[in-house]
Structure 1
Amino acid sequence: MAGLCDYYSVGIDEGDRLNSETTGFGMRSLISKFIQTWLLPLLLILSNGFLGWLINQLPGKQDLKIDDPLILLLTGLCILALFILGAISSQSPPSATPGNQNWLVGFLPLLGGGILFGLLKVNYVGGEFSSAVFYTSLVLFGLGTVLPPVLLLPRRQWQNRLVWFPPGLGLLVMLYFMLRREWTAAFLALFVTVILMLFIHIIKFFIPVTNQLSPKLRAKRQQLADSFADWIWNQIDNWLLDLTSPFQREYYQSLIDICRDYQTQGLDKDCILNLPKVFVPIKIAAKEAANASQTMIQPLKDDGNNSNQTQIWDFLAAIDKYPAFRRMAVLGAPGSGKTTLLRHLTLTYATKQQRKVHPKASKLIPILLYLRDVRQEIVNKKPSLAELITQQVQQQRKIQPLNPPPNWFAEKLRQNQCLVMLDGLDEVADETQRQQVSRWVDEQMQAYPDTAFILTSRPFGYKTARLQQDVTVLEVQPFSLKQMQQFIHNWYLATEVMSRAGQEDLGVREEAKQQADDLIKRIKNSKPLADMAVNPLLLTMIATVHRRGSALPGKRVELYKEICQVLLEKRLRAKNIADALTATQKQSVLQVLAFELMQQKTREFKLSDGIDLIKNKLADVAGSGANPEEFIQQIRDVSGLLVEKEAGVYEFAHLSFQEYLAAVQIKESNQENLLIGNINQSW
């Protein structure tokens, strides 16, 4: 499966690009063929006919005193030039033409000549300038006749030579009048020739400029067109929903009300932030479930061009092409953003913004279920998926409860119109129940094989209750430096706006940017903070403590205290997950463990050694029946403060946590002399 995902992440983009290029080139070839076969000959015939009529308006050769040999010579040269241009342009390969669409510029002189001649005909030009204007319009018409086929020629073969033909002809005309001592006509010919040369140079300058601007303008135009089309379609869709399915619109509004806030469960809420304003797209990568990392804290890395990392939208957009992507298990460490990802997906679909996020995203009805809330219903009654969804939707609102039409969700599931998101398999605390819930999910995936499912879990929870269906396993990647910076800027701006009752002006944005830049600088200069900043939950806590005025990284005590409180108790309580011990009780046991490890000048400990170190303290706070091994595993799997570095070998998630807990233990046990005696020791 990892190989398939790798192939997708690299191959699908390349395939789409080639298909797009092939389609675009085919369309350009058809347009080019139409131009060469029909449009260009028609325009040339019209322009040549009008040019001939203009020439017929010239004074006779007696009035101009032109000899017959010169007339014949000029006529022959014109016929030969037009024959050569026509022959070469007709023999030019079609592949050369699509890249050179600036031939339209060649008709600008034709337009200019027409304007001048029109001004002459309506007597807007004084009599003393009428001859000069007439000759200028004549030359411009000649240039407009010759220039388009020249611009259609292969760029470096004939264009650069033949484009100088009109100025050269103008110089010959000037020389002719000079020999006849007709100085006014010679000066006029020189003036027109200089104008032509300047015009040619201007065209040569603007052609590469337009070549550079055209793709950007086309992209912008396409973007605006897509946005406008989506807006129109959303209006039509809303109108149709009101007529055909008023429940669906009410259901979408209920999802918007539930998912619009940025929730950090367990954190003290200074203010409620808007999820789209704060959310930073997380990266995911194909991973074997056995190799998924449980570690919250990792070294902060700069952005790399890792082709294996992509976004969940890339997989959702490809479910029709790759059926395996219809069933995904997204694994991630505590606080890595799994629940926030599903809430953002739900909000995006409910507001019908999926095409703005990914142009190929399908239209799906979002369904979000928290497995910790429905586990008892699944274990006791084993309902069908449609029955469970209907029941949960009916309980979604206390005021004006939703009432789905009979079999509404069953019909939508049968028609493969839904995206079913099941959050938190690991949060089903009892392992037996977790396995029962996993089997139920397997049955629903089998009952609706073409419906899109996304299951989220921490790695440990999935490993003990793996799905048996063919599932694409994806791992949430830690924040990169760029993602960290974007999140801090988003978070600070949203926080400043909300703290000022929604006011957002230049002063608010400036204050938010100044604070965000200060925090980013502090994180970059502190490795412990940088290592924690890869985790969205820990990064939110860092930002919260920084905004309260704590001078990070100097005063980290408040930060570590908040982290321990959140991970050991507050987060569990916010999710209604029962636990026998409080955060204070758990921390007192971990303090003993951290203190003993510091005395041994080590970070690592074997499970058996850890049990010996904490068993007495655990018995004091939890009673003699408490199991030390289960305590260590619970801190590892649920809180994330301990990690299993290798089989049977543990350590704290970061040395700074071990140092903080040991320092608190020293203070509470009044052993400050121990610190004084070892002040020169790095440990």
Structure 2
Amino acid sequence: MTGNQPNSGSPWLEEAKKLLNQTLVAWGVPGAVGLLAVHFAREKEWWAAIACLLAAGLLWLLIRFFSQLTPSLDKLFQWLALKLETAAIAFWWTLSANFKQQYYQRLIYTYRNYRTQGLKTTGPFTLDLEKTFVPLGVAPESLNRAATAMIRQEIAAKSFSIWDFLARMTGEPGFRHLGIIGPPGSGKTTLLEFIALTYAQNTYRQQNRNAPRLVPVVIYLRQVWEEIVTGDRPTLVDLIQQQFQHQDSLRGLNPPPNWFATQLRRGTCLVMLDGLDEIAEAAYRRQISAWVNQQIRTHPQTPFIVTSRPFGYRAAPVEEVKTLLQVKPFTLSQIEQFIQSWYRQNEIRAQGRDDLGVQRDAASKAKNLMERIKLTPAIAAMATNPLLLTMIATVHNYRGALPGRRVELYGEICDVLLGRRQEAKGMPDRLTAAQKQAVLQKIALNRMTKKTLTFKTVTGMILIREKLDTVTGGTLEPDVFLKQIENVSGLLVEKEDGVYQFAHKSLQEYLAAVEIKERQQEYILTRTIDDPWWAETVRLYAAQNDASNLIWAALQRRDSENAVQALTLAYECLAEGLSVQADMRQELETVLERGLESTEPGVFKLAAEVKLAQRLKNLLRLDETTEIDTRLLTCAEYQLFIDEMKLVGEDRQPPHWPSDRFQPGEANQPIWGVRDSDAAEFCEWLTQRSNAIGDKFIEQDAAVFVGHSKIRLPHAIEIEKHPVVLPKTSNEAQLKQQSIRIVREQVNEY
């Protein structure tokens, strides 16, 4: 039997089902439940289908309800999120502020004391850095390495304060990354520590009202260089964080997460990297420079300062540093300011009070030391170095060793530079300071004998090899030793490639004197007693021995052409010698003192020339080019001028003199009543005597001077700033108006 197949539905019904399915799918979860209802209806499970339809409708209503609430819920969640974010930020800044306050307090604890690393005679008291520090002058090392804006703006100035550059750091990219170079002991480390202390105490605007607000970070490269070159090359942030784990002064203080990273990113840190030169190996030093370059490039908005001795920087320059500054030596006013501050701080600590009596005691001692410095040119030259000046002040206070025991000061300086300073910095050395000095004495005496200051590397190696082998057992090569002395102690400096010299001529002369004493070769000095080249070595030798033989040798040169030099030196040996036999002392005093009153022309002239030579050797240095006399010219010295002018038919004696010679007993009295024109002519006469023959010549009927130094009368402001103590005479009023003082200026050309 046959029948018809059931009809699956008309086309429109199929389209309706398809549309329903698509709609239910589009409805998501309600649609899925609706599809399930359709499935149950097709299976004729009506109760299940009805339950699913009711569930789908309820879900659809709930979804529609919450969809209307979505904007309000979004606002609610946004409000909650904002509140949470604000609370988190406030909490972070609370931690930040608390940390910054604690960090600054630790910096104050660390840097508030004036520290002189390696000084053996330090005394029992620690001085305040803020009250002792004298601002250093800095100047562009080269105009090519300095941003030109400041140079054009302040072209007349010769030096600046570091705060002049800090004030421009954040606003002018050329000053954002600075290099500061200077010789050993010039105050580079102390300068960085003072900057950190100033920022920690929030007194930076007192230094310069335009100085930016910065967070100081000091990193001593000598402490971290090994980790940089041999470790995992830590970033700047890593090194800063590690300071809080390894540095005693910061240990236990925990920065908030990413605190320093944030400061570096914003450019609100001042990163100070001290002692690039203290990485002795040149290859490692270049790696450190490369690392510094990378940190600057990583944090281009962050100000950086890098310090180094000149040799260390030239061998491994930091290319990202755009302005290179050189530390200037102390001027006379800075020397005086430091000594006054140093003594005041020392007396306050010693006496446990700060009142007028303490201040007077400090002022008296400071004045005494300044007078000694002014009267001793060799020490005055050394006092321009802050570290050496600190040694001078310390020795003066605790040993009373200036100027007669100057030799002890030189010994202290060599001891510090060769050993104790490295020990204080934690830089180990296989040789003691005494061993290194014994080796260097060989070079010093040889250079004095050769009458030169410089020596080539190969020459130095030959001179020291034997002595070096005796103190090291042959384990250290001479060229390595020389390089270490240059790099670590600074007692030797490389003047040019492969050519060395001692850092100061006085140090070479001192070491030569010690070597002569140890060899017992005094004859080297007695036979050169009239040679100016050996004069300082003679004085330093006399300070360690009986000076009688030296004075005797000088007296034997009374008839030589260098008699003035010989007797001048003999008189200085009398003052500085460790001891002098009585008969030799008497003979010298007779020659000099009686000679000034002698009417015999030759005897008088020799004594007066010695006195004038002593004057010219003891002028007070005002700055790099100018020296002023600290005493009034005497009648005996002016008589030399009168006698020479008389030979050419000119009368230059003061109008009130009854004759052309001073009265008996007045040889050492100040000259007064001199005409202005005569005083000016005296300076011209002394200028010609002080320079080589031929320094003055006639060109187109005019005298042209081409010497190295010129003598003149002081300006009114110089007299006011540097007065002399007038002798108590009846002519005191005349002395103030008509006496003679002189100034010597170094000149390049006229």
Per the TM superposition, whether the score is higher than 0.5 is yes
Q: Which residue type is aligned with residue 190 of structure 2?
A: T
The alpha-carbon distance between structure 1 residues 352 and 291, as it changes in their structure 2 partners (threshold 3 A), is: closer
Cα distance, 1:675 vs. partner?
A: 4.0
Correspondence 1:259-278 to 2 at 5 A: 259-268=111-120, 269-270=122-123, 271-278=125-132
Structure 1 contact 241–249 (Cα < 8 Å) conserved: no
Spell out, residue by residue over 1:192-247, the C-alpha distance to the aligned partner (whole angstroms, 9 max, x if none).
Answer: xxxxxxxxxxxxxxxxxxxxxxxxxxxxxxxxxxxxxxxxxxxxxxxx98676211
Q: Which residue type is aligned with residue 347 of structure 2?
A: E
1:331 is the counterpart of 2:181: yes
Name the residue aligned to 2:513.
Answer: 663
Counting helix residues as a fraction of each chain, which structure ranks higher?
1
Spell out, residue by residue over 1:512-550, the C-alpha distance to the aligned partner (whole angstroms, 9 max, x if none).
Answer: 111111111111111110110110000000111111243
Q: Which residue type is aligned with residue 323 of structure 2?
A: T
SS of the aligned residue for 1:320 comes to: coil
Q: Distance in 2 between matches of 1:500 and 1:458?
A: 38
Correspondence 1:67-106 to 2 at 5 A: none
1:422 is the counterpart of 2:273: yes
The alpha-carbon distance between structure 1 residues 456 and 526, as it changes in their structure 2 partners (threshold 3 A), is: same
Structure 1 contact 242–249 (Cα < 8 Å) conserved: no
Q: Distance in 2 between matches of 1:363 and 1:587?
A: 47
Q: Distance in 1 between matches of 2:297 and 2:145?
A: 26
Q: How many residues align?
A: 433
The alpha-carbon distance between structure 1 residues 599 and 277, as it changes in their structure 2 partners (threshold 3 A), is: same
Q: Which residue type is aligned with residue 409 of structure 2?
A: L
Q: Distance in 1 between matches of 2:247 and 2:461?
A: 44
The alpha-carbon distance between structure 1 residues 289 and 454, as it changes in their structure 2 partners (threshold 3 A), is: farther
Q: Distance in 2 between matches of 1:645 and 1:275?
A: 33
Q: Which residue type is aligned with residue 164 of structure 2?
A: D
Structure 2 contact 243–251 (Cα < 8 Å) conserved: no
The one of 228, 244, 255 equivalent to 1:404 is: 255
Q: Distance in 2 between matches of 1:517 and 1:372?
A: 38
Structure 2 contact 383–389 (Cα < 8 Å) conserved: yes
Name the residue aligned to 1:287.
Answer: 141
Spell out, residue by residue over 1:73-118, the C-alpha distance to the aligned partner (whole angstroms, 9 max, x if none).
Answer: xxxxxxxxxxxxxxxxxxxxxxxxxxxxxxxxxxxxxxxxxxxxxx
Spell out, residue by residue over 1:554-586, the C-alpha distance to the aligned partner (whole angstroms, 9 max, x if none).
Answer: 211210111011000111111111222111111
Q: Distance in 1 between matches of 2:251 and 2:277?
A: 33
Structure with greater Cα Rg: 2
- Percent of aligned positions that are identical: 50
Q: Which residue type is aligned with residue 137 of structure 2?
A: K
Cα distance, 1:291 vs. partner?
A: 10
The alpha-carbon distance between structure 1 residues 382 and 498, as it changes in their structure 2 partners (threshold 3 A), is: same
Structure 1 contact 253–350 (Cα < 8 Å) conserved: yes
Q: Which residue type is aligned with residue 217 of structure 2?
A: I
SS of the aligned residue for 1:605 comes to: strand
- Decide which moves more: 254-263 or 311-320: 311-320
Q: Distance in 2 between matches of 1:431 and 1:649?
A: 18
Name the residue aligned to 2:282.
Answer: 431
SS of the aligned residue for 1:456 comes to: strand
Q: Distance in 1 between matches of 2:145 and 2:454?
A: 21
Name the residue aligned to 2:423.
Answer: 573
Cα distance, 1:624 vs. partner?
A: 2.4
Structure 1 contact 281–311 (Cα < 8 Å) conserved: yes
Cα distance, 1:551 vs. partner?
A: 3.9
Q: Distance in 2 between matches of 1:338 and 1:290?
A: 22
The alpha-carbon distance between structure 1 residues 644 and 383, as it changes in their structure 2 partners (threshold 3 A), is: closer
Q: Which residue type is aligned with residue 263 of structure 1?
A: R
Cα distance, 1:631 vs. partner?
A: 2.1
Name the residue aligned to 1:595.
Answer: 445
Name the residue aligned to 1:638.
Answer: 488
Q: Distance in 2 between matches of 1:318 and 1:637?
A: 32
Name the residue aligned to 2:242.
Answer: 391
Q: Distance in 2 between matches of 1:508 and 1:385?
A: 47
Q: What TM-score do you get using the length of structure 2 for normalisation?
A: 0.55
- Decide which moves more: 479-488 or 547-556: 547-556
Q: Which residue type is aligned with residue 419 of structure 2?
A: E
The one of 193, 216, 223 equivalent to 1:343 is: 193
Q: How much is the aligned-residue C-alpha RMSD, in angstroms?
A: 2.5
Q: Which residue type is aligned with residue 480 of structure 1?
A: T
Q: Which residue type is aligned with residue 134 of structure 2?
A: V
Cα distance, 1:677 vs. partner?
A: 4.8
1:362 is the counterpart of 2:212: yes
Structure 2, unpaired ranges of 5+ = 1-91, 147-153, 535-750
Name the residue aligned to 1:161.
Answer: none
Name the residue aligned to 1:512.
Answer: 362
1:614 is the counterpart of 2:468: no
Q: Which residue type is aligned with residue 615 of structure 1?
A: R
Q: What TM-score do you get using the length of structure 1 for normalisation?
A: 0.60
Cα distance, 1:327 vs. partner?
A: 0.6
Name the residue aligned to 2:603.
Answer: none
Name the residue aligned to 2:316.
Answer: 465
1:247 is the counterpart of 2:111: no
- Decide which moves more: 323-332 or 659-668: 659-668
Q: Distance in 2 between matches of 1:382 and 1:648?
A: 33
The one of 398, 405, 408 equivalent to 1:558 is: 408
SS of the aligned residue for 1:381 comes to: coil
The alpha-carbon distance between structure 1 residues 359 and 667, as it changes in their structure 2 partners (threshold 3 A), is: same
Name the residue aligned to 2:333.
Answer: 482
